[in-house]
Amino acid sequence: MEPIPLLTPYKMGQLNLAHRIVLAPLTRQRSYGNVPQPHAALYYSQRASAGGLLITEATGVSDTAQGYRDTPGVWTAEHVEAWKPIVDAVHAKGALIFCQIWHVGRVSTYEYQPGGAAPLSCTDKGVGPQMSYDGRLEEFAPPRRLKVEEIPAIVDDFRKAARNAIDAGFDGVEIHGANGYLIEQFLKDSANDRTDEYGGSIENRCRFALEVVDAVVKEVGGHRVGIRLSPFTDYMDCHDSDPHALALHMSTKLNNYNIIYLHMVELRMAIVDGRRVVPKRLLPYREAFKGTFMANGGYDREEGGKVVADGYTDLVSFGRSFLANPDLPKRFEIGAELNKYDRMTFYISDPVIGYTDYPFLD
């Protein structure tokens, strides 16, 4: 019997993975007061399998990085201590865990900013109202454009957060450069309207992202650093006039830093003649980047296995299906039916409901 491609082992730099199924970063909003909670240890350890890789929910690098209720941080000693038992619980299952570090930039309100200040961004253009998962219209505060001389301090926040994550026991960090947040605000020309060395050309718009990568790599080593990008999406009014050129530039330049992986968001599956079809736009970047390549984009067991077997990607990250199926690798192994996720409990504050109460096969 042929092995299932998603369940074949893979060597990622110095790390040995037993399979290719990765828990994608998923905001869960259950870190009360931005402090990771004990229930997160159960949540992550439920989804840990020997030799598997988990990526945490997006975790703030500073007090200006926040834009949502009860998302975790990693900028204080209290945060570091709170993360330690969570990491230990995952390691006890024989799994690996990376901390995704982020700054939301303009995707925030005065409520979440220190002293009720304006959110920080590369621009003073705001994000338009966004429809939330439960049908509410979310509105964001007008941002304040960062001065050139302020940018190194934000870069340093990422560096310090990466160090804190390693001190908490994480195996590495994933820099969040996707989904319309601060790094992507610099990357994409719909948001970045700067005329200085951080705006205009692709090289200039990528400067901030690569400065963050450089600082984090120098602090914790490229073997502990990944990055997530979403060149073809338009989350939070962030889109680019030439996403292919932007993605190719980033994929190529990242090789200079010897990071361990590039995690890229694929367009959602297209429906052709009643069948889901992978757009497969990521191949040029998979070929350009010399490290491990990870794809994300609503894959299922069959599609995920095919893109691994075809060499389109090394690893596949799963979000909503892993959220609802803590034993997803086992279910894929035996072809078991999957639990359905409940979108209405994605972001509630309850420490159990929609969080740790999804059933296992056994």
Catalytic positions, please?
A: 181
> Is residue 110 a contact partner of residue 118, using CB atoms and an 8 Å limit?
yes
> How do 21-23 and 315-318 pair as beta strands?
parallel
**Neighbouring C-alpha atoms within 13 Å toward the C-beta of 178:** 26
CA dist 179 and 64 (Å) reads 18
Cβ proximity of 217 and 225 under 8 Å:
yes
Residue 281's Cβ-count burial label (10 Å; 0-12, 13-18, 19+) is: middle
Element (DSSP H or E) covering residue 277:
strand 275-277
Q: Where are the beta strands (DSSP E) in 94-231?
A: 96-102, 120-121, 130-131, 137-138, 144-145, 172-177, 225-229
Give the dihedral sign, CA 262/304/27/173.
Answer: negative
Compute the distance between CA of residue 296 and CA of residue 97 in angstroms, rounded to an integer: 17
